[in-house]
Amino acid sequence: MAELKGQKKDMLASALAHGRVLSLSQGRVRLGFSPQDGMFRRQVERAQKDAEAALSKVLGAPAGLVLEAVQANDVEAAPSLAEEETERTRVREERAVRDSREHPNVLAAMRLLGAVVESIKVLEEEQVDEFAPAPEEGDDGGPDDA
């Protein structure tokens, strides 16, 4: 995807992100698109030569791209990059809402005012530092207590 974005082909990169990798073999990449992602499949079909050129560059060898239909609930097909990103966003927003509702200051204000939190909306995107090390399993990213 980064290869295509570097070439200013963001729409193609986005369309490819909706495809599920079915197989990756020497000289061939099989991507599956669910019926809901038909628009993205058509975008990839229209720019297939560009997609194959980017794949060939990334893989270091000529690569063909085969597009196939899959069902949305197909468990054999790995989730697409877009599906993974949607899931990460959903989990992050659920955590932010839960943490907000359970924050001691919010709970104190609710008790003091006799109020209830009706809704919480996450407004900002998660900020990712490209150069920060990935957090380890169980690490909440907070300062050490040592």
What pLDDT was estimated at residue 3?
A: 60
Residues of the chain falling short of pLDDT 70: 1-8, 75, 125-146
User: Which tokens belong to 132?
Assistant: 């920060």
pTM of the model: 0.66
- In terms of C-beta density within 10 A (0-12 exposed, 13-18 middle, 19 or more buried), how is residue 44 classed? buried
Strand-strand pairing, 64-69 and 20-25: unpaired
pLDDT in tens, 82-106: 999 999 999 999 999 999 999 999 9
Closest CA to 65 of 81, 94, 40, 45: 45
DSSP state of 65: E
Give the Cα separation of 67 and 45 in Å (integer): 8
Whether the CB-CB separation of 65 and 37 falls below 8 Å is answered with: no
pLDDT of residue 108: 94
- Of 17, 43, 21, nearest to 30 by C-alpha is 21
Residue 145 confidence (pLDDT): 47
How many degrees, rounded to 5, is the angle at CA 123 between CA 100 and CA 80?
100
